[in-house]
């Protein structure tokens, strides 16, 4: 059994200051996929993570203090793939993949469109290109787990105020339709599959005490290919972990 956690840290250095090392020592996941590191490896004392038994694999953005994905893993992967072969996206540090036998764990940070029309257009283009990339990847790596911050709440159950946010980036009809297409292409939303009626969120705005009021969105996912879904043993969201404006989401996969 492997426990795999996905966690958007909104800055790994900030999360370290908020006690994530102590939290990792207590929870001991086998793999933790980080999004939004906002750091280069040399800016972080990775030795503290090594003491806990983790190896680290980074894909940082070229622009310092921006984006970036990272995998901490207790078991050394057979192979690590940096990026998705598209320079426009790879320069932003959005995708990294680790292979363990027949299992592939892909960590993704999908762009946000909240800063305006140009970034929203980039987000929609990324979504289409990413799905095409995954469709090709699955031909050689069918046992694929795609986890990370998708920056989309899928259905009304996944957002506190669906009516008020119907024109908000992250809950736009075209974004939700893309997630429909993504799942129909052969993926399973692990949390919703096992918890069809549970209302739980993974992100809250820093404004207006949103977290205390649980005014949230479920933006973070573990998506399993149909082929891998038979090995799903559990999935959940850890609301009590507070190192970011997101919280961790986890799955257990039978090995």
**Pairing status of strand 103-109 against strand 69-73:** unpaired
Catalytically annotated residue among 45, 90, 99, 149: 149
What DSSP designation does 115 have? T
In this structure, the strands spanning 95-100 and 79-82 are: antiparallel
Q: Which residue has the tokens 């940096």?
A: 82
Distance between CA atoms of 220 and 150, rounded to whole angstroms?
6
**Known catalytic residue at 149:** yes
Gap between the Cα atoms of 233 and 229, Å rounded = 9
H-helix or E-strand spanning residue 226: helix 226-229
Residue (of 52, 63, 10) closest to 29 by Cα position: 52
Report the catalytic residues: 149
């Amino acid at each position: 059994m492997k426990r795999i956690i996905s966690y958007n840290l909104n800055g790994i250095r900030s999360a370290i200051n908020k006690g994530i090392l102590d939290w990792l020592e207590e929870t001991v996941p086998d793999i933790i996929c980080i999004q939004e590191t906002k750091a280069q490896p040399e800016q972080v004392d990775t030795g503290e993570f090594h003491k806990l038994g983790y190896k680290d694999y980074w894909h940082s953005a070229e622009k310092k203090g921006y984006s970036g994905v990272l995998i901490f893993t207790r078991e050394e992967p057979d192979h690590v793939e940096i990026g998705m072969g598209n320079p426009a996206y790879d320069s932003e540090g959005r995708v990294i993949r680790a292979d363990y036998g027949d299992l592939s764990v892909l960590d993704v940070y999908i762009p946000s469109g909240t800063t305006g029309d140009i970034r929203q257009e980039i987000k929609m283009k990324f979504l289409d290109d990413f799905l095409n990339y995954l469709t090709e990847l699955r031909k050689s790596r069918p046992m694929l787990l795609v986890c990370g911050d998708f920056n989309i709440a899928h259905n009304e159950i996944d957002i506190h105020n669906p009516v008020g946010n119907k024109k908000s980036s992250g809950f736009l009809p075209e974004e939700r339709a893309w997630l429909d297409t993504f799942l129909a292409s052969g993926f399973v939303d692990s949390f919703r599959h096992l918890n069809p009626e549970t209302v739980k969120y993974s992100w809250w705005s820093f404004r207006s005490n949103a977290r205390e009021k649980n005014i949230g969105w479920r933006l973070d996912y573990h998506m399993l290919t149909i082929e891998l879904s038979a090995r799903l043993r559990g999935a959940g969201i850890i609301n009590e972990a507070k190192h970011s404006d997101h919280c961790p989401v986890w799955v257990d996969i039978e090995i």
